[in-house]
Each structure stands twice: as structure tokens, then as C-alpha cells.
């Protein structure tokens, strides 16, 4: 049974678990963990599959998942694939045609050029798979080798959640809405579903359609924090609203830890984030850099009782441009599991302090960070807001 989503503050006792919830909700890691699960749930599909992702690549991992989807279609399972036209632009026409010829219903979200649209910022950024309305994977993991890892490289650091609860049915409705362009998703309010003794909700962020649920959930969780906040943040450049919430939490004495990219696939953004390090440290936010692979995760845990995992980055593009989806989980058991994972990652990170920052912060380095920050801010403003002014009345998916 669903529960209306509210912004009320919950006590730890509210979510005290007396049974194992892992059969309903389970933390999933990038790498073999994610792709073994993905293959298994596709192979078990009986009626319908929705796969919606930003990036689907023509590599070993992409071909493996495509093969599973084609086999499902041959079993008369309805297979719907929605890919972002920008994120998956490199996918060859022959790859797409092969999938379609095998019975897969595939379309691209918002081609960059059409009769009434040229829009870069509003991309379909979520990463979701739902099977038969009963089991789902939702997180930040795209379909590509870099998220799976190879014999010579670790997978990018990322997370997802496997759902085997009523929230999966709600997620299928949203996927169906996006695939068939029904537009009713803007009217679907966030609902917290029971999953054992946990509460699970699907959050949307699509500012153009007045959906700011992920941003709101982050802000509320940060403002209501009592002890500790831990965030894994790729492309971490919080806008004014989230930055104010974090600073307010710091003033209350809340411990805040952020796990950031020591290695990034977008070096300019990493440098822009580094420009903010001094400010973070002065507000007593602890910074940890992961250097074993690229950080791509977007997840957080608050007070060992509230957690979120998904596609939403803490920056303006995710807040106001892209279409994002996260899962919100209110469960002591799950939050503790995620927190333990974060602590393990932190144990393998390099901590950044004011002293280490001084050691790396030469004049040229500081200048490069400042220039990167200004360039990224201007770029995000341009790709996020400028096209709205011209195409607000004509946007479509």
C-alpha cells in the first residue's frame, strides 16, 4: 500500500527494522554485481521490459545486454528501449537496426535537431530497468564497459538499487509514460511504498515540467539531518539552494563527508570542483578523493536512516536541465548498509585537508581551477537555461 510523500521529520524509531529487507531492496555496485543482476532479470522476463538509459555503447557489455534483450523479444516479451539521443549518439545505425529487426521497440529521446527543437541541456539522464512491473534496477550505471570493468581496469565507482516491491510497478508506469510520450508523469506525485519495514519512493527531477522531487528530497534530508551526512558526488558543483542547505547543516554541527573524483572523465569539472575545496574545508566538510577509477556515483545517506541512489548529480544541470530519477529509501537497515560501503570507500581514498590543499595549490593551479569553475558555471547556465527561452512553448520528447 502506498503512502503519501511528505516532508515530515522521522525519528530513528520510525524505521527500526525487525526483519531483513534485502529481499525487497538491495544495494548494487557497478561492475559484475550490476551486470549479472541485469542479465538475470532480463532472462527471467515473461511479459514486458523497459530499459531506459543515457548511454548504451557498442562494446562487449553493450552487446551482451543487447543479446539478452533480443532473446527476450524472441520469447515474445515486449521490450521497450529508450536511449538519450545525445548520450547514445555514438551507437551505430547497424546496431540499432539489428535490435529493431529482432523485435525490440527502440526510440531515442529528444534528437538534438528536429523541426522545433535544438536543446542540449534537457537530456534523459536516468538509468532504469524494469521487468514485468515487479523487479527493477535504478541508479547511475550506464550500459558500457567502463561501468562493468575489464581485465585491466576497475569499473567506475557507481551504485544502483534492486527493487522487488510495489515501487517497481510505479517505476514501470513512469517508464511507460516516457516511452510513449504521454506526458502524464508530471501529474504523478511521489509516493512512499512499503517494502518490508522500509519505505521506498521513486523521485523525478524535470524542472521544465515542474518536477523537482530529487532536489527537494536532498534539501529536506540535509536540513533535517541530526548527526551525519555522507555523499558520493560525481560532477559535484552544488547550486545555491543545496550549498546553503549544506552550510546550514555545518553550522548546526552536522558531520558532512563527501567522496569526490580524484580521476574524472570530465577533467574541467573536476578542476571546477577543486576550486570549491577551500570553502568546503572552512565549513568543516570533510573531502575524500577516490583515485582507483572514475567516480560516477550519485548517492547519499543521512543519519543512518535515509538514503538516496540514482542519476541526480548535485549541480545545476541536474537540478534544472536533465530529466533525472532517484530512489529514496527510508530504512535503518539499508542506510547502514550504504553507510558501511561509503566508509569502506573512504578507507581507500585520499583525504584532502587545508594542508594538502596548500601543497597542491600553486599559483598556476589555483588559476586553472578558478578559470575551470567560471567556464563550467557559464556552460551550465547556457545549456540549462538559454534554450528554454526560445523553445519553452514547443519542447517535446
SS3 of residue 267 by DSSP = helix
Residue 146: exposed, middle, or buried by beta-carbon count in 10 A (0-12, 13-18, 19+)?
buried
Is the pLDDT score of 166 beyond 80? yes
CATH number for the domain spanning 292: value is 3.30.870.10
Please tell me the distance from the alpha carbon of residue 162 to that of residue 37, in angstroms, as a whole number.
Answer: 9
Which helix (H) or strand (E) covers residue 359, if one does?
Answer: helix 354-360
pLDDT category at 347 given cuts 50, 70, 90 is very high
pLDDT at 393 over 60: no
Confidence of residue 389 (pLDDT cuts 50, 70, 90): very low
| Residue 66, CA distances (Å) to 62, 96, 109, 138, 264 in order | 6, 10, 18, 18, 27
53: helix, coil or strand? Answer: strand
Residue 384's pLDDT band, with cuts at 50, 70 and 90, is low
* Residue 9 domain flag: no
Q: Give how far Cα 79 sits from Cα of 21, 100, 324, Å.
A: 29, 10, 22
Does residue 4 belong to any structural domain of this protein? Answer: no
Residue 29 falls within a domain, yes or no? yes
Report residue 111's pLDDT band, with 50, 70 and 90 as the boundaries.
Answer: low
Given a cut of 90, is residue 255 above it in pLDDT?
yes
C-alpha cell belonging to residue 306: 535515509
pLDDT at 130 exceeding the cut of 70? yes
What is residue 375's predicted lDDT score, i.e. its pLDDT?
81
Q: Which of 275, 190, 287 minimizes the C-alpha distance to 246?
A: 287
Segment 301-315 shows an average pLDDT of 96
For residues 291 and 324, the answer to whether their CB atoms sit within 8 Å is no
Task: Report the share of the chain in percent with pLDDT over 70.
Answer: 86
Pairing of strands 255-261, 228-233: parallel
pLDDT at 187 (0 to 100): 67
β-pairing verdict for 78-84 and 105-109: parallel
Assigned domain for 147 exists: yes
Q: 232 in a domain, yes or no?
A: yes
Rounded Cα distance, 152 and 166, in Å: 39
CA distance 369 to 366: 5
What does the pLDDT read at residue 186?
A: 66
Domain with 221 in it: 20-391
Mean pLDDT of all residues in the chain?
87
Q: What average pLDDT does the segment 140-146 reach?
A: 98
- Does residue 291 lie within any of the structural domains? yes
| pTM (two decimals) | 0.88
Report pLDDT for 392.
Answer: 43
Identify the weakest region by mean pLDDT among 175-189, 205-219, 292-306: 175-189
Contact call for residues 135 and 142 (beta carbons, < 8 A): no
**Helix, strand, coil abundance in the chain, percent, nearest 5:** 40, 25, 35
Sign of CA dihedral 310, 2, 52, 185: negative
Q: Does position 17 have pLDDT exceeding 70, yes or no?
A: no
State the pLDDT at residue 379: 76
What pLDDT was estimated at residue 374?
79
Residue 224 belongs to some domain of the structure:
yes
Report the number of distinct structural domains present in the chain: 1
Q: C-alpha angle with apex 160: 230 to 34, nearest 5 degrees?
A: 135
pLDDT surpasses 60 at 11? no
Q: What is the DSSP letter of 318?
A: I
The answer as to whether 14 is a domain residue is no
Average pLDDT value for residue range 260-270: 89
Residue 348 pLDDT class (50, 70, 90 cuts)? very high
Amino acid at each position: 500500500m502506498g503512502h503519501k510523500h511528505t516532508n515530515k521529520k522521522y525519528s530513528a524509531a520510525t524505521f527500526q527494522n525487525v526483519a531483513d529487507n534485502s529481499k525487497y531492496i538491495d544495494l548494487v555496485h557497478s561492475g559484475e554485481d550490476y551486470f549479472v543482476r541485469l542479465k538475470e532479470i532480463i532472462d527471467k522476463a515473461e511479459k514486458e521490459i523497459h530499459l531506459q538509459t543515457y548511454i548504451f555503447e557498442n562494446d562487449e557489455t553493450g552487446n551482451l545486454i543487447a543479446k539478452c534483450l533480443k532473446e527476450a523479444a524472441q520469447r515474445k516479451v515486449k521490450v521497450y528501449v529508450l536511449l538519450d539521443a545525445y548520450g547514445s549518439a555514438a551507437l551505430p545505425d547497424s546496431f540499432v537496426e539489428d535490435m529493431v529487426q529482432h523485435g525490440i521497440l527502440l526510440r531515442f529521446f529528444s534528437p538534438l535537431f528536429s523541426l522545433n527543437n535544438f536543446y542540449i541541456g534537457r537530456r534523459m539522464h536516468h538509468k532504469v530497468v524494469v521487468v514485468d512491473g515487479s523487479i527493477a534496477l535504478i541508479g547511475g550505471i550506464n550500459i558500457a564497459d567502463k561501468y562493468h570493468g575489464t581485465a585491466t581496469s576497475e569499473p567506475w565507482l557507481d551504485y544502483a538499487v534492486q527493487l522487488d516491491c510495489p515501487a517497481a510497478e510505479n517505476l514501470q508506469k513512469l517508464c511507460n509514460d516516457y516511452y510513449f510520450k504521454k506526458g502524464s508523469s508530471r501529474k504523478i506525485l511521489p509516493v512512499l511504498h512499503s517494502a518490508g519495514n522500509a519505505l521506498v519512493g521513486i523521485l523525478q527531477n524535470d524542472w521544465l515540467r515542474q518536477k523537482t522531487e530529487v532536489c527537494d528530497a536532498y534539501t529536506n534530508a540535509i536540513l533535517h539531518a541530526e548527526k551525519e551526512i555522507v555523499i558520493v558526488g560525481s560532477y559535484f558543483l552544488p547550486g545555491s539552494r543545496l550549498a546553503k542547505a549544506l552550510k546550514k547543516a555545518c553550522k548546526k554541527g552536522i558531520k558532512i563527508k563527501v567522496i569526490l573524483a580524484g580521476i574524472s572523465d570530465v577533467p574541467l569539472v573536476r578542476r571546477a570542483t577543486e576550486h570549491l575545496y577551500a570553502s568546503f574545508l572552512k565549513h568543516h566538510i570533510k573531502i575524500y578523493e577516490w583515485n582507483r577509477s572514475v567516480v560516477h556515483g550519485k548517492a547519499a545517506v543521512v543519519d543512518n536512516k535515509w538514503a538516496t541512489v540514482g542519476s541526480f548529480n548535485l549541480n545545476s544541470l541536474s537540478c534544472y536541465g536533465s530529466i533525472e530519477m532517484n530512489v529514496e529509501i527510508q530504512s535503518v537497515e539499508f542506510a547502514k548498509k550504504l553507510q558501511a560501503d561509503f566508509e569502506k570507500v573512504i578507507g581507500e581514498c585520499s583525504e584532502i585537508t587545508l594542508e594538502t590543499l596548500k601543497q597542491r595549490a600553486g599559483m598556476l593551479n589555483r588559476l586553472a581551477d578558478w578559470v575551470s569553475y567560471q567556464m563550467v558555471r557559464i556552460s551550465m547556465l547556457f545549456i540549462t537555461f538559454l534554450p528554454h527561452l526560445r523553445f519553452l512553448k514547443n519542447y517535446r520528447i
